[in-house]
Structure 1
């Protein structure tokens, strides 16, 4: 089970980083600055955390389901 937990954590962190990087790149490309930039980055952080938690839960539930089926 340890390998599954590490896999879930690593892929969740990578997904969160990609989502945040995409939002950050969008903010840079649009030339947003000031409080609007802070707002966009806050939303990007929230989306990144949400995507990471979703991935973590999804992977762990999938591994649990496979374990119960005996695979």
Structure 2
């Protein structure tokens, strides 16, 4: 692995931040969607409801982070513009 430029490090930092933020929003929405019916039916949330909403929320969080970071290719201009080419200008 070679050294990375400042722009590449900044791009990776932004991508990680985006992955974590979007995963947190989706996990929160998943938790709310699962626990909302129980919260509306009874005023309290017991441990089983928290686990029933929390477990899928954790799975959604991890899957979203993996999905976003797996698709990350690096800073613009680091990949060839056409498949099979060795440089963007080729």
TM-score (norm 1): 0.77
Q: Which of 19, 39, 43 is the equivalent residue of 1:28? A: 39
How many aligned residue pairs are there? 66
Structure 2: unaligned runs, 5 residues or longer: 1-11, 82-90
Whether the 8 Å CA contact 1:12–1:51 is kept in 2: the answer is yes
Asked if residue 57 in structure 1 is aligned to residue 57 in structure 2, the reply is: no
Please show how residues 1-71 of structure 1 align to structure 2 within 5 Å: 1-31=12-42, 37-63=46-72, 66-67=73-74, 70=79
TM-score (norm 2): 0.62
Larger radius of gyration: 2
- Deviation >4 Å, runs of 4+: none
Calculate the aligned-residue CA RMSD, in Å.
2.3
Q: Could you say which residue in structure 1 is the equivalent of 2:4?
A: none
